[in-house]
Structures are given as structure tokens and as C-alpha cells.
Structure 1
Amino acid sequence: MTTVVLWPFVVAVVTGWDRKNALLLRDMSVPGSMSLNDLATGADGVARAVPQDAVLAVLSPLVPPTVVIGLLMCGCGVTGMWGASLLARQFGAGCVGQALAAFLVLWNPYLAERLLQGHWSVVVAGMLLPLVAWLAVEGRQAWSAVGLAGALAVCALTPTGLILSVVTAVVASGRRRFTVLPLVEGAVLSLPWVLPSLRDAAGTLTDAAGASLFAARAEPWVGTPGALAGLGGIWNADAIPDHLLPPAGVLLAVAAVTVAVVLWRRGGWTGGLRRLSALGGVAVVVPTLMATGPGLTLFGEVLETVPGAGLLRDTQKFVVLALPAMVVLVSRVDVLVPRVAPPVPVLLTGALAFLQVPLLPADLTQLRPVALDGGYADAVDAVEEAAENAGLSDPHTLLWPPGNYRLIDGRPVLDPLLKMLPGSPVDPGYLIVDGRVVDGDPTTVRLLSELASGGASGAALGNADRPDGLAEAGVDLVLVEVDAARDAGVDLPAVLTDPASPHELVWSNDGWSLYRVG
């Protein structure tokens, strides 16, 4: 199953040793080599990809990041399926039911949509949630505590994953003394992104418009509740698999709820299953309510006033909390027709699960590794050399054209240079969703606007009394990707090309230019 569904990551393990290959799709920007720069550690700006980028950067000299991610995805796919089968067996599922539970871990719209959005680390955590739930339910032995600690550590590659795993563990355990472990470990594992955020709490505030732009999306025929009940409904319509049948997901959810009712009437809906089912219901209902008019208004106020609330604005990503309950309830679908041989209803339900995304492996083709243009590596070498010649130990490099997304091999992707450059690459931090600019560092956005309009340097404009905006902003180097600027219809900043400019061209090669700020 792992090889069939996650085949792009199997390919990444095999081909990733050639460091020209990269995993590039939207938020998944993983070049063959990464730098432990200030963005990776959270030392500069909002800690957006902490600690996952730091881990990849530390391992990068030994193992290419693409290989690390490929091994992680495949390993967690197998482990998550194994955990789902154990969880299903814990609550009385037979062999066929256990197989169906394992199947659902990888074959669902959530995995497809999140991978197409590039959220590989969130998918890692999602696949491990059934295992986390089983370890928490089984938590009477020392080995289960050790296993749970390890699973939480892997999920903690991303803040969202840590929240998902800790919530699942606390809800599933039901024993007060055992909930201390995930809470304490969660607090410790959150320090890499909490501490940087505390230095600039105001910087973690976000635009109220994010509440509506990132709200769960309605699917045809089933609306927002149906989309979420089927573990779909991501906000980005471009990240939807080409072959998606939302009604199949709704029918699967109806089957799960019906099983819960039957088990409740027979006295089998107790303990951990009851708690996990309640968590699953909340995971569907709350994002649905947050997508309504009042929910958007309320949440918008929260985003603008509560530091760190932006971590929660993509509400659909939390619907995966329903996965542990889903795999258990669906694995027990045989209780609905007790007079029929158990494999029959389970296999029919498995067919329904399959129909949610019937061509899932084909839908994930965009995830295959691609060869990154050699100009990126040359640009990194040029920045390192320029920084060394100028005596800069922590160079601040501004990227041009504006924005942190590029179109590479026909795919929109976060600029790989933000992961590859040393020092402190300047990330403007803003997003453009449906033509609207969301978030962004005000100082950097203002500087980019001035550069685009021909300003930002008094000397270049013949006004010696006017301060240099680049120098004032602490920029040491400006790296221009000429082809990307041309494709975006953006001219080179006049402050760089004007003969009177104090900024020096220190390197140019095959569509790239590097300027040192004078």
C-alpha cells in the first residue's frame, strides 16, 4: 500500500541522492541541499517551518533532504497502517476489518489534498494518529509510553502535527496520570517554535481575512459538512485530486456513525472508542461552524488580536483528528448485518472507501521529484563567496522578483532559495490568495513596493539626502532571478541598474545577478 500510494516518495528515496533532484509543489520546497539559516531555526521572522527545516538542514550534509522525507513518509505510512490495524483489533475488529482500517490511513482525501498542498509533515502526523491513539489506549506498559514518546517526537516536526498528536493521545488515554506524559512532552517539543514566537508576539498576529480565505471549502453535492465528514474540504481548490467523489466519503461517514449507534445500543461503545468518536465529531463540526458567517467574523477577530492564532486559521487540517475513530468504526461495520459473513460488509465498505479517490496514485503524480536548475546552486555559491569577501557572517539576502513563490517546472512552489541560502534570507512572508495579499512583514513589503516603483535609494535617484532604503532595512545582498522577474512582468529595480547607484553588481551568470548593497 505504501509503495502504491506514496510512490513519489519511494522515487525520492531512490533518486534523491542526486542532489539536483528536489521535491517541489506549493508549500513543499525541498531542494537537494539545505542550509541551517535563520529561517530554518526561527531566529529571524515568524517560525513557519520550525523545526522540520532545521532537522532537514542538520542532516543535509550526510543525507539529502529529499531522501530523508522519502524515508519518513514511507516509514510513517507503514507504521501508521500497522497502528490502525492494532487499534481496530483493540476494539474487536477481525482480520478483514483490521485490513480495512489500515487501508483508510493512506487511502483518503485528506492525505491527497494535504500532499498536493505540500504539507508533507502534516500528513506524517496524520498517518501516525491511529498508532498514537492505540499507544494511549494501551498505555499500561512502559513500552507503550516509550513508543508514544517516539511517535509524538516524529509528529512534532510541524506545530500542527504536535497539536494533533497530543490532543489524540490525551483524549484516547482517559487516565489522568497517563495524560501527563503527552502534555509534558508536547510542551517540551513545542519550544523550538514557541520561544522564537515569544520574542515577537505581535509578529504572529495575522489578517482577519485569513479566516475566510483559509476556511474549509464546500464540495459539490455535499456542501461543507459533507466534505469534512469525508476528510476533505481543503481551502485551496487547486490542491484537490482530479478524481474525487465526495458522496462516497459522506456514505462512509454515515456508515461509521451508524456503527457507533449500534455499538452504543449493544454496550460496546465505551471507553476509548467513545472518547475517540466524540473527538471525531468535534473535528468535523467545529471547522464546519467556523466556515459559517458568524464563525468567520468571530475567528477573524481572534486572528487579529490573539498572538499565534494564525496557527489555527487553516481549520480543515484538524479534521484528521476524526481518522482514529473512523478507522475503528468502519472496521466494525459487520455489526450492522450480523447474519451476513463478516468479510462481506467490510469488503463492501472498503470498496466505498476506495471510491472516494479511485485514482489516488495517479492524482499524486505532481509530487514526483524534479531536477532543480543548476542556477540555484550557482547562486548559493555566489552569495556565500560575496558574503565571505564582504566579511558578512550572517548575510541578509533580498530575493527579486518580490514574493516568496516561484513557478518551477510548471508548479507553484515556495522559493527553494529560502531553504538553500546561508545567513538570513529575507522572506516577505505574505501570501496571495484569490488575488488578495495576506500577512507579510510590513517593513519588507514596504521596501519591495518602493523597489518596484523605482524608489528605495536616494543616491540612485540623485538625492543624496534621502536615506537608502535597502541599507536601512539591513539588506546586504540582492539576488535577482532575471527570468522569473521577466515571467512575472517585473522590471529590475532602478536602484540596482542606475549608474549612480552605490550598489555593486558582484556576480552575474545565466539569468541571475547578485548585487552588494553599498
Structure 2
Amino acid sequence: MTQARLAIRWVVPGCALLLALVVSAPLLAPGYLLLRDAVSTPRSYLSDTALGLGESAPRAVPQDFLIAVVSPVLDGGVLVKILLIAGLFLAGWGAARLADVLVPDAGMAGQLVATTLAVWNPYVAERLLQGHWSLLCGYGALPWVAAAVIRLRGEQSLPSWARWAAVVFWIALAGLTPTGLLLAAGVALACVAVPGDGVSRLRCATGVLITAVLAASPWLTASALGDALDSSPSSGVVAFAARAEPGLGTLGSLAGLGGIWNAEAVPPSRTTLLALLATAVLLAVVAVGLPTVVRRRSAVPLLVLAAVGVLLPAAVATGPGLAVLRALVEAAPGVGVLRDGQKWVALAMPGYAVAGAAAVVTLRHRFRPPITALVCVVAVIAVLPDLAFGVWGKVTSVRYPPGWSAVAGIVNATPADVAALPADSMRQFPWSGPVPVLDPLPRWVRAEVLATGDLTISGQSVPGEGGHARDVQRMLLAGAAPDALAGAGVGWVVVESGSAGTLGDAQRTLQGLPVAYRDADLTLYRVGGSSQAAPQGKRAVAIATHAGWLVLQAVAGIAALAGRRWRARFAQTDKPPQKFE
């Protein structure tokens, strides 16, 4: 291996890791990630909700299963931070590897541009602020999925089983969330169209679909066994539509990889006309590389996918598009996963990264590649300066007050359904910062915490799927008798002090209940009701499918590494590897 190749081998992943650490720096401090949808706790459990068998749709599987399995060995807060940083690192390094496959003449300079585009963009900033750490893990797998499928179609220096193993591993890894899996499947199917003499398009597409179904088995099984999808979430279609940012229409915001539905989950620079400049810079880097990359037939499918990833969410955000999506969700509630249109813009990242890498090739007759790369990297970072250090300190580590551990210990000793007050799915504690966060209690205890899933977005109420939880909540707010609460299967009531929300006449109910624990942050009341868990048969099936997802990743990962060692052995002996296709 030449010195240049050795430099690329270490410098590029080192740059990707550096960018990931600069973005996530505050999370290196002790504590837990608590920010909007991101909730981490020291320990999680295999509750019905963690297996996707609760009232809410199985949106957090198999991620909750993974944390529940690993957290007895590794603190859950540390695990979440590792996975988040790994997702950002993989996005940068994977983009460079993909650029090396499609525009190898871009060299290390082009790969560094691709790395920067993949890590340093509004999509990463906005999803961080929304707390979508697991989605960013799937995002980080996308360029690896693309490179693996392209190699499957064209490369013959590895046996087909090793190339298939890489495809399976990266798709299954992206399947940490349903959205991540759908994104990975979309990228993989697009790359099936690349030319090549390797595995045929039909076999490749069939294998990708089979892999996607296997990787999706945890949440597909949970959806089939549960009844959460019987209720339609169509009322949230408008609230979750992509949003126009200052100086940009919805299409321009999405083209710049921004436009998340939550106006509060954006870095400060995206709330000013700097968003227009940032989008212009990002698209300029991509546009400079287009004349080169469009001539590479293997790259064209990713460019088409990038256009679809921008245009389709923009179309869905229009009046007719919202009407169509609402009708689809009402007809098939499982389609509700499509409501958050901006998250699908992640499909554009691999194409953008490759085009950015190609910019140094387009301009190499005028400027030296290192100069072009330096200008592109500095420009992309300069127009989004507040992504650094946890989006200027907004993504940080926080510490739980000691009462949370005490309450969890009492409830875990006698598990039974828990009702939580105030009546709101989001909390805003003085100790966790100014940003609201999902109630952490469900991930602290092995019992089921009754959560309605209702959200308030820009003054609009978006109901969740928790029907039983909503009935119990109404009883509490109406001041029902403790016996009625116990009859509904409630074993405990927890009042989380210091967070805004409705308490109604719940004090009348609480006065008749014995206090099991009280401090300045939490009060735990014993109700004594007996709750019903999901049938053991359903739990066994759900656990088996989750375990199958883990085994699929492990086996595919080991096989892919074995294939790499096989190729390295031939490289050391200077003997050409056997052609396998």
C-alpha cells in the first residue's frame, strides 16, 4: 500500500471522527441525553412498550430492545451517546468511502469534502435538536449501504457471500429504527440500478427486499401482534409537514437539507437570512461537482434519489400533497410513519456527498484539489457555525436527581401500571434545561407507564394512540375515587414536580392514596391495582424477532469482516484474487 493510500486510510476517518466529536462535544461530559424525543436512563427493561406491544405504535423498536439488553452491562446513557457519536462518525467516513468508489480520481481532497457535507449540515443539526439520535444512526449507515450495493453489482474481487454480508449488515444496522430501515432500503434499491457485471439487478433487488423484511421483523411483528395501529394519526399530518425557513420556500429549505417541522428544533443561524446563504453555499458545492458526477453512470441513481428525496417531501407539504397523505394515513394507519416529511431528505445525503467530492475533479484544471477541498470545507462549516459543540450547547449531558432512582427501585420491586402527572407527554424540569423532553419515567421502570402520546405542536393538539392511558388520565383529572383507579389496573401514581402541565382535580384522588416516596422532585403514591401485561406468547414472539435482528447483524458483520481479511491476505501475497462471478 502506498504512503498516499495509507494517509487516506487514516486521515479521512480521523477527520470524520473529529467532526463527530466537535458536534457532540458536550455529551462527553458525565450525564444523560435528555432533549425532546431523546431520553436516556441508566437502565432500561424489556417492558411491553420496549417490545412494541404497548398502546403506542412501535416507533422505538428495536432500539428500546437493544438498550434494554445492553444496559445491564453498559450504562444506558453511555450507550446512547456512543451510538449517536458512532452514527455521525459513520456518516462522514461512509460518505468518503462512497466517494472513493464512485469518483476515485477525487482522491483524499474529494473525500474530505464528502465527509464534511455528510456530517456538517442542517439535517444533522435539526435532528440532533429534535432528539432523534437513533435516526442519525440510520443516517450514518446510508453511504455504507450505497457502497455495499454498488460493490455487489460491480466488484468481483470478493466472493459474493462477503459482498452480500456487507449489504445485509448495513441495512440491518440502519434498522435500529423503522425510518432508518426504510431510508436504507430506498438507498439500496436505487443503487441496484447501477451498471455492473456482478450480481444481477433482479437478484440484487430481491436480496435487498428480503433483507429489509428480515430487518423490519421486530416492528412488523409488533404491529401485527398489537393494536396500536388501529387508531389513525391523520390529525398530525399538517403539523409534521416540512417547513419553510427564512428567505427560502419549503423546496429551498429541503434542498438545503433543512426544513424540519418543529421551528424550535433548529440552530439559531437557520432562523435568520443566514439560512439562505447556507443553502446557497451547500448547493453551490454540490452543483460544481455535478458536471463530473453525471458522467459517472454508477453515480446517476444516487443523484436521482437525491432529487426524489427533496422534491417528494416538498410536494407532500403542499395542500394537495397533504390531502393525499391524510387519505393514505386514514386508510392505512401504518403509513403514519411518512408524516414527518423532512426526515426523508436524508435520501439526498449520499448523492450530495458524491457530488461534493466531484467538485475537486471539476475544478482541478483551475485549482489544486487541496485548495478546492479547503475552500469547500471551510465554506460549509462557516455558514453553519452553530452546529459545533452540541448546537452551541443545546445538546448537553444532564444529571437526574436522586429521587428518580429511588422511585424506580420501589416500582420495580412491585411492578404494576404507573400513571404519571402532570397530564402531558412532554416534561420541562428545572434540572434538565429549558427544552422540553419526553417523560423519562417509562424508561426508568420495568412496569408500563400509561402515556397517551398526545402532543401539542404550535398550539395544535395531535392525539396519540394511548386509549387506556387517556381513560386513566381522565379519571385522575376528574378526581376519581382511588378504588376506581385500582379497578382500572393502576398500581402506582407518580407526580413529577416542577414540570408544567394539567393536574385538574387529581388532588382529590391523591389525598386518598398512601405515599410511598416523596421529595422535592417526585411523589410516588401506591394505588394497589393489578395490571395486565401482554400475553407471554406475544412477548416470546416479539423477543424472538428482536433477537433475530441482532443475530442477523452479528452474523453478517462477522462474514463481512472475514471477506475483508480474505482480500487482505491475497493483497499481501501479491496474487490476484479469484473471480467469483
Same fold, TM-score > 0.5, yes or no:
yes
- Residue by residue over 1:128-163, the C-alpha shift from the partner in whole angstroms, topping out at 9 and shown as x without a partner, is 211211111112434332222222222111111111
CA-CA distance at 1:42 after TM superposition: 1.3
Match of 1:290 in 2: 316
- Comparing 25-34 with 356-365, greater Cα deviation is found at 356-365
- One-letter amino acid matched to 1:359: D
Which residue, 419, 438, 442 being the options, matches 2:467?
442
Matches within 5 A, 1:262-273: 263-264=293-294, 268-270=295-297, 272-273=298-299
Count of aligned positions: 487
Question: Do the aligned partners of 1:206 and 1:439 also contact (CA within 8 Å) in 2?
Answer: no
Question: Do the aligned partners of 2:518 and 2:524 also contact (CA within 8 Å) in 1?
Answer: yes
Question: Do the aligned partners of 2:293 and 2:300 also contact (CA within 8 Å) in 1?
Answer: no
CA gap 1:369/1:65 in 2 versus in 1, 3 angstroms: same
Match of 1:136 in 2: 149
Matches within 5 A, 1:145-294: 145-174=164-193, 175-201=201-227, 203=229, 205-244=231-270, 245-247=274-276, 248-257=278-287, 259-261=289-291, 263-264=293-294, 268-270=295-297, 272-294=298-320
CA-CA distance at 1:196 after TM superposition: 1.5
CA gap 1:87/1:51 in 2 versus in 1, 3 angstroms: same
Question: Do the aligned partners of 1:112 and 1:364 also contact (CA within 8 Å) in 2?
Answer: no
- One-letter amino acid matched to 2:459: G
**3-state DSSP of counterpart to 1:398:** strand
What is the TM-score of this pair, normalised by structure 2?
0.78
Match of 1:390 in 2: none
Match of 1:369 in 2: 397
The structure, 1 or 2, with the larger RCO (C-alpha pairs under 8 Å, 6+ apart) is 2
- Residue by residue over 1:63-95, the C-alpha shift from the partner in whole angstroms, topping out at 9 and shown as x without a partner, is 011221222233333333222112112222222
- Comparing 47-56 with 254-263, greater Cα deviation is found at 254-263
- Residue by residue over 1:161-192, the C-alpha shift from the partner in whole angstroms, topping out at 9 and shown as x without a partner, is 11111211121133221233332121111111
Matched, 1:349 2:376: yes
Matched, 1:400 2:428: no
Match of 2:454 in 1: 430
CA gap 1:482/1:108 in 2 versus in 1, 3 angstroms: closer
Match of 1:18 in 2: none
Matched, 1:453 2:460: no
CA gap 1:207/1:353 in 2 versus in 1, 3 angstroms: same
Match of 1:97 in 2: 110
Question: Do the aligned partners of 1:211 and 1:299 also contact (CA within 8 Å) in 2?
Answer: yes
- Residue by residue over 1:258-287, the C-alpha shift from the partner in whole angstroms, topping out at 9 and shown as x without a partner, is 5435554xxx241x3111111100000000
- Structure 1 residue ranges without an equivalent (≥5): 16-20, 388-393, 461-467
Match of 2:35 in 1: 25
CA gap 1:204/1:430 in 2 versus in 1, 3 angstroms: farther
- Structure 2 residue ranges without an equivalent (≥5): 1-14, 194-200, 530-581
**3-state DSSP of counterpart to 1:132:** helix
- One-letter amino acid matched to 1:477: W
Measured in 2, the distance between the counterparts of 1:4 and 1:333 equals 21
Question: Do the aligned partners of 2:419 and 2:473 also contact (CA within 8 Å) in 1?
Answer: no
Question: Do the aligned partners of 1:22 and 1:370 also contact (CA within 8 Å) in 2?
Answer: yes
Which residue, 83, 87, 101 being the options, matches 2:98?
87
CA gap 1:515/1:325 in 2 versus in 1, 3 angstroms: same
CA gap 1:11/1:183 in 2 versus in 1, 3 angstroms: same
Question: Do the aligned partners of 1:137 and 1:173 also contact (CA within 8 Å) in 2?
Answer: yes
Match of 1:55 in 2: 66
Give runs of ≥4 in structure 1 deviating > 6 Å.
Answer: none
Match of 1:465 in 2: none
CA gap 1:201/1:379 in 2 versus in 1, 3 angstroms: closer
CA-CA distance at 1:479 after TM superposition: 1.8
Match of 2:510 in 1: 497
What is the TM-score of this pair, normalised by structure 1?
0.88
- Residue by residue over 1:446-472, the C-alpha shift from the partner in whole angstroms, topping out at 9 and shown as x without a partner, is 331332133x33xx6xxxxxxx54244
Matched, 1:39 2:66: no
Matches within 5 A, 1:286-325: 286-325=312-351
Measured in 2, the distance between the counterparts of 1:370 and 1:43 equals 30
**3-state DSSP of counterpart to 1:81:** helix
Matches within 5 A, 1:322-341: 322-337=348-363, 339-341=365-367
Measured in 2, the distance between the counterparts of 1:252 and 1:508 equals 53
Measured in 2, the distance between the counterparts of 1:227 and 1:405 equals 27
CA gap 1:517/1:494 in 2 versus in 1, 3 angstroms: farther
Measured in 1, the distance between the counterparts of 2:43 and 2:186 equals 34
Question: Do the aligned partners of 2:235 and 2:463 also contact (CA within 8 Å) in 1?
Answer: no
Which residue, 408, 412, 418 being the options, matches 2:436?
412
